[in-house]
Amino acid sequence: MACSALIFLLDPQHSRQGHWWLPDGGFPQRLAGLLSSPLRASGRPPRSWHDLLLVFEPLRSQVTPDAPQASYRYLLCLERRGSRISCWRRYPEGLGWQRRCGPMPLATFIRRFQQPGAARRASS
């Protein structure tokens, strides 16, 4: 079963926002893997608008009203002290959106949901 996600990026300091559609693999573990790539390459999580645009560049950036129902929603908010992320999940029982985690620092989200062994695979 496909598990899609909507990803929203907000930068309130510069009045910018971005939206992406992840059609499959929308689980927090997958998003943590995407977000940890810059961490492995530079030794730090993505901190700026530009860093996050590079992370999401391969994803479809057009979120349309007729997009299928997503299973997950993520909100990344850029703040002066660092990025924060929140996650919601829509359960099939029709309970609506339920908070899964956050808001939490982006680095904490990556550590919490990164799949075991991902760092070892990236360094080999």
User: How do the pLDDT tens digits run along the chain, 124 residues long?
Assistant: 568 899 999 999 899 999 898 888 889 999 998 888 876 677 777 888 888 888 888 887 666 555 567 889 999 999 888 899 999 998 877 778 899 998 999 989 999 998 665 443 333 3
Phi and psi at 53, nearest 5°, equal -60, -40
Helix 106-113 and helix 28-42: axis angle, to 10°? 110
CB burial string 107-116: b at 16+ within 10 A, e below = bebbeebbee
CA–CA dist 100, 82 (Å, integer): 20
For the chain, what percentages of helix, strand and coil (3-state, to nearest 5) are there?
30, 30, 40
CA–CA dist 1, 31 (Å, integer): 18
Count of domains forming the chain:
1
The reported pLDDT for the residue numbered 109 is: 93
- Strand, helix or coil for residue 116: coil
Nearest to 63 by CA among 18, 92, 20: 20
The reported pLDDT for the residue numbered 76 is: 95
- The domain in which residue 113 lies consists of 5-123
